């Protein structure tokens, strides 16, 4: 299907172009800071997009999504600490462990609905947090320094700022493309059908929970990839990545940008992290402004930023 | 043996404190169908108010009472200005808005009181150990927490079960629209319930303050525990919250106290010292996960809605 030309799609296209051209701008002005900032933003955007897949399309409100960021990160960090530096091993392991974790907690959590689902996913993420805090061999509470970024046998150099940025961006675009294809596939339509009327989908012969679970696992795996990127970006992974407030951050990005719209989480991540960064430039009390801004957005801008754009006149 | 008694009392004390926090949360959740992540911030504010007022007045009791009043007012103001516009909205909207409030309160506290934690010193008459059974001494202050929390729980029970306001609260929990249709001023009722919840959270915060330091973010960890409790107990059920809080308090405390020794008997020293802290912190969440898998509505679900 051909995307329609309207305000939200135009904004999305502009942002994509800006993201692609950012290293050029950074090189021309010598502004390295903006590149590192946006590397972080693209990684969080990928994580938020994966959360949007289950929240926006699947109706599964996971309050423990940051767990996969930590799991993907720890997979990279622990393998690196044990002397396995190859990204060809680290990254598949990170994805596989995230997928397994998602399969485990998904198959248990999906027995519950609504608020109970929110709480049980939170509980599992907190468990992962405490397990990581107790890994004294790998830094425990203090976290684990990743001394060497993943090695891709000369194919790509993760220590190069530009190359790493484009890798993150490629992962983001790849993730978005995957999510777009999933959402518009038969599988994705079933998942969305289950969100709007589970009983009816059951009645016409779909095993609702099985579809939900697969969707949940895909989402967790994509977020695990974001975790592997994040560990490489910060050269560090700590239990704090999995703390519940971080899951809250991801949720905020999704809702802020617009839940259930493909590009919404990307805008949400950009706005949220930029706002945080800008506010911290001129005040150390950024929460004093950021908090009420979130409140106002909820009160006056339903459907997030994408919802606002969608209500604007078609171009 | 004495150690077991002492830890049991510690668990009971912690559980009762959690009940104060969870009671407000479960009322607000059950009646207004409102997910309030900022409940932990009210707990933190209670502790900060208490530390300030106690230092200001020089009297622990007076300062605590003033802090209680201040948290009540803060809760009512918060409900009136912002949160009442969020009733009936999607749970996610509420999560986002109250998450914003957490950010706001944390930085507001940092601005007003500074980033360093505060200490709330106890008056000397509360620091003496009390002999509860021959040979077992227990800190007077912790004993006082148990007594106060039990008294508040009893009062809450009487108010909810025996008064007209309580009847309205219960009616609100089972069918909001209906009591509105019967001509009850539902807005006022909601504000009252929210204020009550805020005051209970503040009470928990100010009573916990002398045991731990008063610091930014103190509400976040305990908020999650309170959520665990209302989920285990069944949302909207005060009785369930009470049982679950005591259950969680005792399990958490006993786990932290005895699990390391137990594990050391089974595992090697190094493995046990790694596993014990993780397992004892996880115990509660593990418990909740098991309960939710087996009984998705909680142990004591409130009346069907």
Measured CA to CA, the distance from residue B204 to residue B214 in angstroms comes to: 12
Is B278 in Cβ contact with A133 (below 8 Å)? yes
Residues of chain B found within 8 Å of residue A256, distances taken between Cβ atoms: 96
Strand runs labelled E in A73-161: 144-145
The parts of chain A modelled with pLDDT lower than 70 are 1-4, 313-315
Q: In the A/B pair of chains, how many CB contacts fall below 8 A?
A: 146
Indicate the length of chain B as a whole number.
305
Q: Which residues of A touch B285 (CB under 8 A)?
A: 123-124, 126-127, 130
User: B-chain residues within 8 Å CB-CB of A291?
Assistant: 100-105, 107
- What is the pLDDT at residue A51? 96
A1-34: pLDDT as tens digits:
556 677 888 889 999 999 999 999 999 998 889 9
Hey, CA dihedral for B177, B182, B183, B188, is it positive or negative?
Answer: negative
Residue B68 is predicted with a pLDDT of 95
Which residues in A lie closer than 8 A to residue B275 (C-beta atoms)? 134
Per residue, what are the HEC states of chain B? CHHHHHHHHHHHHHHHHHHHHHHHHHHHHHHHCCCCCCHHHHHHHHHHHHHHHHHHHCCHHHHHHHHHHHHHHHHHHHHHHCHHHHCCCCHHHHHHHHHHHHHHHHHHHHHHHCCCCECCCCCHHHCCEEEEECCEEEEHHHHHHHHHHHHHHHHHHHHHHHCHHHHHHHHHHHCHHHHHHCCCCHHHHHHHHHHHHHHHHHHHHHHHCCCCCECCCHHHHHHHHHHHHHHHHCCCCHHHHHHHHHHHHHHHHHHHHHHHHHHHHHCCHHHHHHHHHHHHHHHHHHHHHHHHHHCCCCCCCCCCC
- Nearest residue of chain B to residue A121 (CA atoms): B289
As a whole number of angstroms, the distance between CA B161 and CA A282 comes to 52
CB contact under 8 A, A294 and B100: yes
What local confidence, expressed as pLDDT, does residue B304 receive?
Answer: 46
> Can you give the pLDDT of all 305 residues of chain B as single tens digits?
778 888 899 999 999 999 999 998 988 887 788 888 899 999 999 999 999 999 999 889 999 999 999 999 999 999 999 898 888 888 888 888 898 999 899 999 999 999 888 888 888 888 888 887 777 788 889 899 999 999 999 999 898 889 998 888 888 777 778 888 888 888 888 899 999 999 999 999 999 988 888 988 888 888 888 988 988 888 878 888 999 999 999 998 988 888 888 888 877 767 777 777 778 778 888 888 888 888 877 777 765 44
* Chain B residue numbers touching A272 (CB-CB < 8 A): none
How far is residue B167's CA from residue B179's CA, in Å, rounded to a whole number?
A: 11
Contact B96 A288 (CB under 8 A): no
* Residue-level pLDDT at B76: 95
Distance between CA atoms of residues A174 and A312, nearest Å: 28
Three-state DSSP state, A64:
coil
Chain A CB contacts of B82 under 8 Å are 295, 299
pTM: predicted TM-score of the whole model, two decimal places: 0.86
Angle between helices A7-29 and A264-282 (to 10 degrees): 50
Q: Do B108 and A285 touch (CB under 8 A)?
A: yes
CB of A104 within 8 Å of a chain B CB? The answer is no
Query: Measured between CB atoms, does A133 come within 8 Å of chain B?
Result: yes
The whole-number pLDDT of residue A311 equals 76
Is the minimum CB–CB distance between A17 and chain B shorter than 8 Å?
no
- CB contact (8 A) between residue B288 and residue A118: no
Give the tokens for residue B198: 């805020």
A138 touches chain B (CB under 8 A): no
Q: Is A145 helix (H, G, I), strand (E, B) or coil?
A: strand
Write down the pLDDT at residue A314: 47
Task: Sort out which chain A residues have CB atoms less than 8 A from B218's CB and list them.
Answer: none
- Of the residues A126, A276, A296, A302, the best mutation for testing chain B's interface (the one with the most B CB atoms within 10 Å of its CB) is A126
């Amino acid at each position: 299907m051909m995307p329609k030309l309207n305000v939200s799609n135009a904004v999305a296209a502009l942002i994509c172009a800006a993201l692609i051209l950012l290293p050029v701008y950074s090189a021309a002005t010598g502004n390295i800071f903006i590149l590192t900032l946006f590397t972080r933003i693209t990684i969080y955007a990928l994580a938020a997009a994966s959360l949007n897949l289950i929240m926006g399309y699947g109706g599964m409100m996971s309050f423990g999504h940051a767990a996969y960021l930590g799991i993907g990160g720890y997979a990279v960090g622990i393998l690196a600490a044990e002397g396995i530096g190859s990204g060809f091993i680290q990254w598949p392991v990170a994805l596989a462990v995230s997928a397994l974790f998602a399969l485990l907690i998904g198959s248990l959590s999906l027995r519950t609905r609504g608020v109970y689902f929110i709480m049980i996913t939170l509980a599992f993420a907190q468990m992962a947090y405490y397990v990581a805090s107790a890994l004294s061999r790998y830094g425990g509470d203090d976290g684990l320094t990743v001394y060497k970024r993943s090695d891709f046998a000369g194919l790509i150099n993760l220590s190069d700022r530009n190359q790493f940025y484009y890798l993150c961006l490629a992962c983001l675009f790849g993730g978005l493309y995957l999510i777009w294809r999933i959402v518009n596939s038969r599988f994705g339509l079933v998942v969305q059908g289950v969100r709007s009327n589970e009983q009816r989908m059951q009645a016409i012969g779909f095993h609702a929970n099985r579809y939900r679970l697969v969707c949940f696992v895909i989402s967790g795996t994509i977020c695990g990839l974001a975790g592997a990127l994040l560990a490489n970006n910060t050269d560090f992974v700590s239990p704090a990545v999995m703390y519940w407030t971080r899951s809250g951050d991801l949720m905020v990005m999704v809702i802020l940008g617009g839940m259930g719209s493909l590009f919404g989480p990307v805008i949400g991540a950009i706005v949220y992290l930029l706002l945080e960064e800008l506010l911290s430039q001129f005040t150390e009390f950024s929460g004093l402004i950021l908090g009420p801004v979130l409140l106002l957005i909820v009160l006056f801008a339903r459907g997030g930023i994408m919802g606002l754009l969608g209500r604007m006149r078609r171009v | 043996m004495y150690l077991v008694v002492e830890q049991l009392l510690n668990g009971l004390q912690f559980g009762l404190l959690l009940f104060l926090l969870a009671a407000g949360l479960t009322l607000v959740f059950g009646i207004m169908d409102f997910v309030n992540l900022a409940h932990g911030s009210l707990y933190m504010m209670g502790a900060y108010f208490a530390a300030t007022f106690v230092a200001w007045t020089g009297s622990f009791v007076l300062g605590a009472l003033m802090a209680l009043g201040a948290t009540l007012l803060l809760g009512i103001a918060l409900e009136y200005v912002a949160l009442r516009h969020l009733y009936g909205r999607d749970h996610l909207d509420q999560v986002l808005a109250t998450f914003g409030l957490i950010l706001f309160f944390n930085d507001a506290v940092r601005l007003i009181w500074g980033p360093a934690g505060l200490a709330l010193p106890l008056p000397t008459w509360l620091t003496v150990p009390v002999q509860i059974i021959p040979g077992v001494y227990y800190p007077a202050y912790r004993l006082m927490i148990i007594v106060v929390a039990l008294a508040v729980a009893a009062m809450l029970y009487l108010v909810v079960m025996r008064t007209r306001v309580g009847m309205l609260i219960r009616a609100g929990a089972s069918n909001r629209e209906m009591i509105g249709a019967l001509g009850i001023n539902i807005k006022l009722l909601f504000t009252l319930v929210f204020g009550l919840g805020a005051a209970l959270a503040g009470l928990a915060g100010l009573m916990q303050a002398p045991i731990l330091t008063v610091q930014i973010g103190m509400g976040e960890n305990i908020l999650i525990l309170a959520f665990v409790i209302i989920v285990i107990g069944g949302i909207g059920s005060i009785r369930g919250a009470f049982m679950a809080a005591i259950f969680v308090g005792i399990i958490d405390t006993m786990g932290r106290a005895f699990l390391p020794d137990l594990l050391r008997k089974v595992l090697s020293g190094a493995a046990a010292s790694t596993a014990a802290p993780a397992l004892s912190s996880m115990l509660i969440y593990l418990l909740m996960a098991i309960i939710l898998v087996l009984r998705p509505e909680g142990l004591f679900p409130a009346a069907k809605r």
